[in-house]
Chains A and B, each alone.
Chain A
Amino acid sequence: MADKKTIKFEIVTPENTVLSKEIIQVTVPTQDGEITILPEHIPLVSILRPGVLEIKTIDQEMEIVSVSGGFIDVLRDKVVILADTAERAEELDEERIVAAKTKAESAKAEALNHEDYDLSAVSVKLEVALARERALHKWRKLKNVK
């Protein structure tokens, strides 16, 4: 890291500002697949899907954040993520995630049997729960390795 190119990075949700930091790279789950943004990225707007954000801060630390969807706005030296909801992995609670997951799974199974149920809404809930679980696992792995 000879040159000190960094990105001003912010994740905000309607509830709070989850993270606001100088970073060197971030991987985000967009609708078309994961993209990694490095400094000097060309301006970009994209839609996020539920998933895991991997952020590398300037002190080479990794941060794991789960999002449930939203938008990303990339400017020359600034990245803003407008998330519907977002949680840092260390703040996630496994019990609640598992409970939410089982609930979402059963809801999805039920929705599959009833044609008039809103399957897409249920699937999104399940995806969000899965994304949180993945974020938690990734974070644990990261901390154990260290």
Chain B
Amino acid sequence: MAKTKEISRRIKSIGNTKKITRAMEMVAAAKMRKAIEAVLRTRTYANLSWETVLHLSAMANGDGELRHPLLTNRAETKKAAIILITSNRGMCGAYNTAVISKAKESIKLHPDVPVEFILVGKKGATVYSQKQIVAAEFPKSDALTDSAEVVPIIKMAIADFLSAKYDKVFVAYTDFVSPAKQVPRVKQLLPVDIKAEDEFLGIVGDPKVSVTKDLIAEKGKQHLHANSGFEYIFEPSPEEVLDKIIPRLLEVQIYQALLEANASEHSSRMSAMHQATEAATEMVSELTLFYNKARQAGITAEIAEISAGANALLD
């Protein structure tokens, strides 16, 4: 009897867990829908603005006299920073692990460059235990409504880049492809550079249309003067325009990265919780089988005992 009691207790507790995971799945699904809407709304803007920034950078790194500190590559990379975007809460499958290991993979490719992390989201704190240096931590609100939230992050990144604390700034985030697929990515933010290694290039959003150098060169040929290369006119003046446009557009990039990360987080939480619910269902049915078997065994044993006792009396 003791065994059946134990099993029934387990069935009950798994049933309760299942209720929770199912509720979480539904909440995540609702949040995901909202997050996806937000991501799709901003994507066109983010992609077009990134294109503009890359055009500008192609020009700034050409032989023109135009130079802007945010667009210019430094001779050597002494130190780099990675803005790591993670979730605030767990229970979302491999979401955080995937983006962190992607970031660490990129670090491994350049072992001689020390890297500091700038964390956005609470779960990024796991890099502390992996002996990484963390320069700053920013809170992340669960429902992102306003691009004003990213202003402090980008301000710090730009200031530290200009003061030569870092020679390169990357952002590591999870790109939202579809509710079933999320891709962790590392993207070079500063300096904005069209010649950056392909591994770090990419338009936020669609991995299929990620920008490569060929595409930009082609665009240049199509839209800009064939013989003068990337020549832009700036009004009022190049400095003024670039000073205004680049920080704003970088802000949009980070904002978009955050939105992508949010949508990815909710989708991966949803699928993780869905799997958990399914696993719980399976476990409950298996345990119920065990329970019935144990119950039956108990009854059989009891009957055997009684009939054995009756037989003994008859003798």
The interface bits of chain A over 40-78 (1 if a CB of B lies within 8 angstroms of the residue's CB, else 0) are 001111110000000000000000000000010101111
A45-B245, A73-B55, A82-B49 in contact; A12/B44 too (CB < 8 A)? Answer: yes
A12-B48, A14-B252 in contact; A45/B234 too (CB < 8 A)? Answer: yes
Q: A104 to B45: give the CA distance in the assembly, Å.
A: 28
Q: Does A92 contact B (CB under 8 A)?
A: no
B151 CB, min distance to chain A CBs, angstroms: 14
Q: Does B225 contact A (CB under 8 A)?
A: yes
Q: Does A106 contact B (CB under 8 A)?
A: no
Per DSSP, chain A at the interface is strand
A61 CB, min distance to chain B CBs, angstroms: 23
Contact of A15 among B42, B225, B236, B248 (CB under 8 A): B42
Q: Does A31 contact B (CB under 8 A)?
A: yes
> Chain B residues with Cβ under 8 A from A78's Cβ?
223
> Chain B residues with Cβ under 8 A from A27's Cβ?
none
Whether A76 pairs with B45 at a CB distance below 8 angstroms is: no
Contact of A43 among B44, B147, B232, B244 (CB under 8 A): B232
A78-B223, A80-B52 in contact; A45/B42 too (CB < 8 A)? Answer: no
> Chain B residues with Cβ under 8 A from A45's Cβ?
52, 56, 232-235, 241, 245
Per DSSP, chain B at the interface is helix
Of chain A, the residue at the smallest CB distance from B234 is A45
> Chain A residues with Cβ under 8 A from B230's Cβ?
43
Whether B222 pairs with A76 at a CB distance below 8 angstroms is: yes
Of chain A, the residue at the smallest CB distance from B52 is A73
Whether B223 pairs with A82 at a CB distance below 8 angstroms is: no
The interface bits of chain B over 242-276 (1 if a CB of A lies within 8 angstroms of the residue's CB, else 0) are 00110011001001000000000000000000000
Q: Does B76 contact A (CB under 8 A)?
A: no
A72 CB, min distance to chain B CBs, angstroms: 9
> Chain A residues with Cβ under 8 A from B224's Cβ?
43, 75-76
Q: Does A144 contact B (CB under 8 A)?
A: no
Q: Does B160 contact A (CB under 8 A)?
A: no
Q: Does B137 contact A (CB under 8 A)?
A: no
A43-B223, A75-B223, A77-B223 in contact; A82/B236 too (CB < 8 A)? Answer: no
Q: A14 to B145: give the CA distance in the assembly, Å.
A: 11
Q: A17 to B44: give the CA distance in the assembly, Å.
A: 7
Q: A30 to B235: give the CA distance in the assembly, Å.
A: 8
Whether B245 pairs with A47 at a CB distance below 8 angstroms is: yes
Q: A75 to B241: give the CA distance in the assembly, Å.
A: 16
Q: In which size bucket is the chain A interface?
A: 20 to 34
Whether A43 pairs with B241 at a CB distance below 8 angstroms is: no
Whether A82 pairs with B45 at a CB distance below 8 angstroms is: yes
Q: A44 to B232: give the CA distance in the assembly, Å.
A: 5
Q: Does A10 contact B (CB under 8 A)?
A: yes
The interface bits of chain A over 78-100 (1 if a CB of B lies within 8 angstroms of the residue's CB, else 0) are 10101000000000000000000
A26 CB, min distance to chain B CBs, angstroms: 15
Q: Does B240 contact A (CB under 8 A)?
A: yes
B143 CB, min distance to chain A CBs, angstroms: 16
Q: Does B116 contact A (CB under 8 A)?
A: no
Q: A10 to B45: give the CA distance in the assembly, Å.
A: 10
Contact of B225 among A16, A32, A43 (CB under 8 A): A43
Whether A80 pairs with B48 at a CB distance below 8 angstroms is: yes
Q: A80 to B51: give the CA distance in the assembly, Å.
A: 10
Q: Does A123 contact B (CB under 8 A)?
A: no
Chain B, range 103-123, C-beta contacts under 8 Å to A: none
A128 CB, min distance to chain B CBs, angstroms: 16
> Chain B residues with Cβ under 8 A from A46's Cβ?
234-236, 241
A63 CB, min distance to chain B CBs, angstroms: 19
Q: Does A6 contact B (CB under 8 A)?
A: no
| Shortest beta-carbon contacts, A-B, top 3 | A75-B223, A46-B235, A76-B223
- Please name 4 further chain A to chain B contacts, defined as beta carbons within 8 Å, in addition to the given A43-B232, A46-B241, A82-B45, sorted by A numbering: A17-B44, A76-B225, A77-B223, A78-B223
